[in-house]
Amino acid sequence: MLVTADWVLPIGRPPIRDGAVLIRNGTIAAVDTAKKLTVNYSGPRHEYPGCVLLPGLVNAHTHLAFTCLKGVIPSMPFAEWIRYIPIAFRSLSADDIVASIAHGAIKAIVSGTTVVADIAYGPESVAVAADSGLGGTFYWEVLGITPSELAETLYEREFPTDPIRVCSIRLRCGISPHAPYTSGPELIRAAHLIATAQHAGFAIHAAESDAETQLLTDGTGPLAQLAGRLAHGFTPPGSSTIAYLDRLEALNNAVIIHGAKVLPSDVPALARRAKGVVLCPRSNEYLENGKAPAWRFERAGVPLALGTDSLASNQDLDLFEEARALHAIEPRFDAHRLIEMITLGGARVLDMADEFGELAPGKQADLAIYRVPPTEDPYTALFDVGGRGSIEAVLSAGIWRVLSGAPIFGVSVIERASHLAAQKASLAVALDSPGL
């Protein structure tokens, strides 16, 4: 099939006016001008005049299982907010969680995302993603256990132990000890060792809040009780989170989620050892965590990606909204760099750039197509209007998922199930804290 648009943004090379992408067997066969690719071509054509076409977007931090928690917990300081997450989540049945994941997958795809880095609580996320057309890395989250319970926990939660299953073309698995205040040092170290041995991804929420900084500095503050209950063996290291992870040898190839409280002295180690930092500016704002030193990361060469985080701390899963939020905080990131960050940059941080993030022969046929006003500057035009409101079509693995701005599959049953789950979660939170 041949897909044409007024502008094609391959990302790895300059924009192509009147461009086209030739697709065969779910992968990209060629990217060039429509004129060149139509010579001797007689197969199906999909034409998108008035549109910009680019690779499917990469959302480098999601919790799709929390999609039904949108609006359940209002904006508040992180250390208070996190208390409500288990209350809300425990109210959900296994079916509710599957509905919530499926609803999140739809929300991601209809805004142009085809790749996620998702915090998973079992195999459901991978299965739902595979069904919906999402690719990405799914990190099994562990917390509150001892290192000796890790292997059994992963086994019980059906973490794929066969290395071939851990790594397929579109779907990869990883391990994520949740955070330094819910996973003790030996658990973090053990999770990192297993991930490394399995060639699986490793991600951790780190340097997110002032409460976390306080806990690591002197063991006090609003997260101290939680750490005492869940982070077995934790003693305050008297250092930053990044220095702590480095000392645990858990920074190598780690995906650092948030990094809002990273110190200038931590940045060189991040640049040298981590896979990268996933910036989540809107979640940081929702939870009053301030702003990550994103430009300092950029200047030091820290690989950067963007993530929406979950709908428990954000309004939507639209990466263009996230990119515009980062631009508002740090205008030195221009449209070109931000669009690179939500495509190839994200794929690199996830170690999936061999398949995603760029329009190039041999890569996955994942396309996002947005309607934009007539322009000579497609990056700026797309940055200004890109998102759920301007999506025209989405293709993943060579299959259309969105056409004429709407999903090609029925979504009303999933939305209804997810809304019912949301009502249960709201009730559970209200019963715990009347008036919240």
Q: Which residues bind Zn ion (CB under 5 A)?
A: 309
Q: Which is nearer to Zn ion, 28 or 82 (CB)?
A: 82
- C-alpha dist (Å) from residue 222 to 207, 215, 217, 228, 241: 15, 8, 13, 11, 16
Cα distance between residue 312 and residue 426, in whole Å:
11
Torsion sign, CA atoms 220, 290, 287, 58: negative
**104 vs 386, which CB is nearer to Zn ion?**
104
- Angle, vertex CA 270, rays to CA 236 and CA 139, nearest 5: 80
In the bound state, the residue with its beta carbon closest to Zn ion is 309
Distance CA 345, CA 60 (A): 10
| In the complex, minimum distance from the CB of residue 68 to Zn ion, in angstroms, rounded to a whole number | 16
d(CA 252, CA 339): 26
Looking at this protein, which amino acid is placed at residue 387? Answer: G
- Tokens standing for 194? 């297993």
Nearest distance from C-beta of residue 63 to Zn ion, angstroms: 6
Q: With H, G, I as helix, E, B as strand and everything else as coil, classify residue 172.
A: strand
**Residue 259 to residue 224: CA distance in whole angstroms:** 20
Provide the minimum distance between the beta carbon of 278 and Zn ion in the complex, in angstroms, as a whole number: 9
Closer of 22 and 101 to Zn ion (Cβ): 101
The alpha helices in 51-182, defined as continuous H runs, are 78-90, 94-109, 124-132, 150-156, 163-166
In the complex, the smallest distance separating the C-beta of residue 368 from Zn ion, rounded to whole angstroms, is 23
Instruction: Specify the residue, 309 or 322, whose C-beta has the smaller distance to Zn ion.
Output: 309
86 contacts: CB under 8 Å, gap ≥ 6: none
Nearer CB in complex with Zn ion: 10/307:
307
**Shortest approach of Zn ion to residue 386 CB, angstroms?**
23
Distance CA 9, CA 372 (A): 13
Of 63 and 401, CB closest to Zn ion: 63
Smallest separation, CB 178 to Zn ion (Å): 9
Of the pair 21, 85, the CB lying nearest Zn ion is at 85
Q: Which two tokens stand for residue 264?
A: 């200038």
Task: Write down the least CB distance from residue 136 to Zn ion, Å.
Answer: 15
In this structure, the number of other CB atoms found within 10 A of the CB of residue 36 comes to 13
Pick the closer one to Zn ion by CB: 182 or 418. Answer: 182
CB of 78 to Zn ion, least distance (A): 11
Q: How far is the CB of 61 from Zn ion (least distance, A)?
A: 6
- In whole angstroms, the minimum distance from the beta carbon of 307 to Zn ion comes to 8
Q: Tell me how far, at minimum, the Cβ of 280 lies from Zn ion, in Å.
A: 7
Residue 238: other Cβ atoms inside 10 A: 11
Q: How many CA atoms lie within 13 A of 252 on its CB side?
A: 12
Question: Which runs of consecutive H residues, i.e. helices, occur in 263-343?
Answer: 267-273, 281-286, 294-300, 319-329, 335-340
| String of DSSP letters for 102-116 | HHHHHHHHTTTEEEE
Cα 272 to Cα 300: distance, rounded to the nearest angstrom? 10
Q: Which is nearer to Zn ion, 226 or 394 (CB)?
A: 226
Q: Which C-beta is closer to Zn ion: that of 309 or that of 392?
A: 309
Pairing of strands 276-279, 304-306: parallel
| Cβ closest to Zn ion, residue 210 vs residue 309 | 309
Cα–Cα distances in angstroms (integers) from residue 434 to residues 72, 79, 247, 430, in the given order: 13, 19, 43, 5
